[in-house]
Amino acid sequence: MTSKYLLKYPTGVADSPVISKTVLKTGVMMNILRANVDYGEATLIVDILGDKEEQKKVVDYLRGEGVDVSKLEKNITNNVEKCVDCGACIALCPTEAISFKDDYSIKVNSDKCIRCGVCVEACPLRALEIVRA
Amino acid sequence: MMKTIKEINEKIKKGEAVIVRADEMPEIYEENPKRAAKEVDIVTTGTFGAMCSSGALLNFGHSDPPIKMQRIWLNNVEAYTGLAAVDAYLGATQLSEDRGFEYGGAHVIEDLVKGVEVNLKATAYRTDCYPRKEVETAITLDDMNQAWLLNPRNCYQKYNAAINSTNTLLQTYMGTLLPNFGNVNFSGTGEISPLNNDPNYETIGLGTRIFLCGAKGHVISEGTQHSPKTGFGTIFVQGDLKEMSPDFIAGATIPNYGTSLFVGIGIPIPILNEDVAKSTAVRNKDITVNLFDYGVPRRTRPVVREVNYEELFSGKVDINGKKVRTSSQSSMKVSHKIMETLGQWVEDKEFFLSKPIKNLPGDSEFRPLKVKEETKFVADIMIKKAITAYQKDSLKKVSEILVKNAIDQIPIVDSNNKLVGIVTTWDITKALAKGEKRISEIMTKRVITSRKDEPIDVVARRLDKNSIGSTPVVDEDNRVIGIITMADIIHRGVSK
């Protein structure tokens, strides 16, 4: 079982090897999906590879280190009112989260989405949106 | 065996016309061509995609006192008014003056069809008959006298697919193209695309009644750039905006390119004889297009390979042994809905076929623009003696070269004159602040370069896009053979 989380580091934390420490301390693996690290602050999207209890262990540890943690339940939405099901987004998605159904409707798999936003920028109808964490 | 349009219309009246969709026809035809030609009366086709050469011809009526509208804006999108006093043509790709790529003529057209009120602003000079200088009001589609969709080039028979060989993301009229052959973008609906079902123009001509964005429209001519000889036919269409449905027309933003209008077109193909039946039996695998490399922004782009629509619709295309994912820019779902709706109209006796009063040309070709001024290339204006430094040079030495030559950046080469990086005066300042000493540590390794056979406009765009003032010119082996700067392009070239 895995779940996606958004990690925000406040000033100071980004300088320490907080991910490594968390993995070593908890023994739970993490897959970094996206990372935006800048001076003094960072935003990470990670998959925590563990059951509910293990995930909680990781979240608690990170929070103890001063990291702001929020679970990503829903990542992307497709506004069916606006969408014309052209498919311009499909091949752009790095995780293949968007596909055609049998009737050529667009299907968005929010679980696979890593919130990169490439499809949002490319959509001619402006029908896709990253859900705020 | 021959059927006439009149006979088919009689059958529609009696509720006896046999209607099939273009995707159903190949199987029916292959089973028994003669029977297919005899029994099928109408094949419905459909397409729904971005068609830039679209717009609306609008008549607003007169205000009191009247105005000879010289310039007009609808929701801040300017329309062309070089017509009579209150006529204007609103082009789909005209950008809004305040929202840029996010809103254009296409979006105004969509808003009008949806019944949304739009702001109309007009300015003018005074005349004896039209004394008013300006007017601003809010109007809906119903308030206008006439509002016609009038699209000079729609419904491309097929369209070449696009890929990007460069190492940077490109945003083109064919959509977003990922670097390093990352995706294939294509448009058109293949075997159900209207003009692929009558490529010899045996039934489609001036006056052919069609489904246009949910209304009954007409083909009024061949489209601009009509090129039936090469399989790239187009049509000029007209229809009443007031009868259209927002389900089949939509304003679109092609990111960092412009706005465009998604237009829905369905053409009923009357099966007059076996030849027409055969044309409507076309399959996706028989319709091929070139896959062009949009990394080369020239009129003639390199062809990566030929692809057919079956491969394009499969979701993956083989490029040099690698499976590259494809993205359609047209909607198959809405195109199918168009075929179904058109078929339903005929079944309900609401839509009858019209006999064209003139056939469309079947042998014309699309010619390029003659430009009197010769295209200038990088080789014509580049500085051939590029000042370079070696990777092993000291920071002090590189600084001295910069100062001596009054330049603010310098390509760094290895012992074979191959480009390995670039150093700017800012890099040197940073190095001093941080105490770094080696050129290889401070140089930018990913350098934007140019080739000597590229037109200077292409390089000008590259400089603009990357916010840089110059690029080294390299040969096939990445050896520095010159340098080209924006200043040179402006002073010695023709690019503005």
Residues on chain B touching A128 (C-beta within 8 angstroms): none
Beta bridge partners of B95: B104
CB-nearest partner of A84 from B102, B260, B262: B262
User: For chain B, which ranges sit under pLDDT 50?
Assistant: 495-496
Query: What's residue B370's pLDDT?
Result: 81
Nearest CA in chain A to B174: A88
Residue with tokens 């003009």: B195
For domain A2-71, give the CATH superfamily. Answer: ACT domain (3.30.70.260)
Residues on chain A touching B102 (C-beta within 8 angstroms): 126
Query: What's residue A89's pLDDT?
Result: 96
CATH number, span B378-492? 3.10.580.10
Residues on chain A touching B178 (C-beta within 8 angstroms): 91-92
| Interchain contact, A84 vs B102, CB within 8 Å | no
Choosing among 3.30.70.20, 3.40.190.10, 3.80.30.20, 3.90.79.10, the CATH entry for A76-130 is 3.30.70.20
| Interchain contact, B328 vs A88, CB within 8 Å | yes
Residues on chain B touching A120 (C-beta within 8 angstroms): none
Mapped onto helix, strand or coil, the DSSP state of residue B431 is: helix
Residue A93 CA to chain centroid, in angstroms? 13
- All structural domains of chain B with their residue ranges: 5-51+150-359, 61-144, 378-492
Cα A114 to Cα A110: distance, rounded to the nearest angstrom: 9
Nearest CA in chain B to A118: B176
Q: Which residues of B touch A (CB under 8 A)?
A: 48-50, 102, 175-176, 178, 182-185, 250, 252-255, 260, 262, 315, 324-334, 336
- How many Å lie between the alpha carbon of A101 and the closest alpha carbon of chain B? 10
Nearest CA in chain A to B249: A84
Indicate the angle between helix axes B395-405 and B425-434, nearest 10 degrees: 150
**Using an 8 Å Cβ cutoff, are A32 and A19 in contact?**
yes
- How many Å lie between the alpha carbon of A81 and the closest alpha carbon of chain B? 10
Mapped onto helix, strand or coil, the DSSP state of residue B8 is: helix
Record the tokens describing residue B432, joined without a space: 């001093």
Mapped onto helix, strand or coil, the DSSP state of residue B436 is: coil
Nearest CA in chain A to B101: A124
| Interchain contact, A87 vs B253, CB within 8 Å | no
Query: What's residue A90's pLDDT?
Result: 96
Query: What's residue A42's pLDDT?
Result: 82
Residues on chain A touching B311 (C-beta within 8 angstroms): none
Look up the ipTM and state it: 0.83
CB-nearest partner of B253 from A85, A87, A126: A126
| Interchain contact, A122 vs B175, CB within 8 Å | yes
Cα B343 to Cα B347: distance, rounded to the nearest angstrom: 6
User: Is the previous residue joined to B65 through a cis bond, with omega within 30 degrees of 0?
Assistant: yes
The answer to whether domain A2-71 and domain A76-130 are alike in fold is yes
Beta bridge partners of A124: none
Residue A86 confidence class, pLDDT cut points 50, 70, 90: very high
Per-residue pLDDT of B354-378, as tens digits, reads 999 999 988 887 777 887 778 889 9
Query: What's residue B190's pLDDT?
Result: 97
| Interchain contact, B327 vs A91, CB within 8 Å | yes
Query: What's residue B250's pLDDT?
Result: 98
**Using an 8 Å Cβ cutoff, are B398 and B423 in contact?**
yes
Query: What's residue A127's pLDDT?
Result: 95
Nearest CA in chain B to A90: B327
Residues on chain A touching B324 (C-beta within 8 angstroms): 91
Which sequence positions of B are flagged as catalytic?
A: 129
DSSP H or E stretch at residue B37: helix B33-39
pLDDT above 90 (res A111): no
Those residues with Cβ within 8 angstroms of residue A92's Cβ, 6 or more apart along the chain or in another chain: A118, A119, A122, B176, B178, B183, B327
Query: Average pLDDT of A47-67?
Result: 91
Pairing outcome for strands B322-328 and A29-38: unpaired
| Interchain contact, B176 vs A118, CB within 8 Å | yes
**Using an 8 Å Cβ cutoff, are B23 and B191 in contact?**
yes
Q: Which residues of A touch B (CB under 8 A)?
A: 84-92, 96, 100, 103-105, 118, 121-122, 124-126
- All structural domains of chain A with their residue ranges: 2-71, 76-130
Cα B20 to Cα B190: distance, rounded to the nearest angstrom: 17
* Top-confidence residue, B207 or A115: B207
Query: What's residue B496's pLDDT?
Result: 45
Looking at B8-111, which runs of residues are DSSP E strands?
Answer: 19-21, 42-44, 47-50, 55-59, 71-74, 77-79, 87-91, 95-96, 100-104
B189-214 burial by CB neighbour count: b if 16+ within 10 A, else e?
Answer: bbbbbbbbbbbebbbbbbebbbbbbb
Residues on chain A touching B330 (C-beta within 8 angstroms): 86
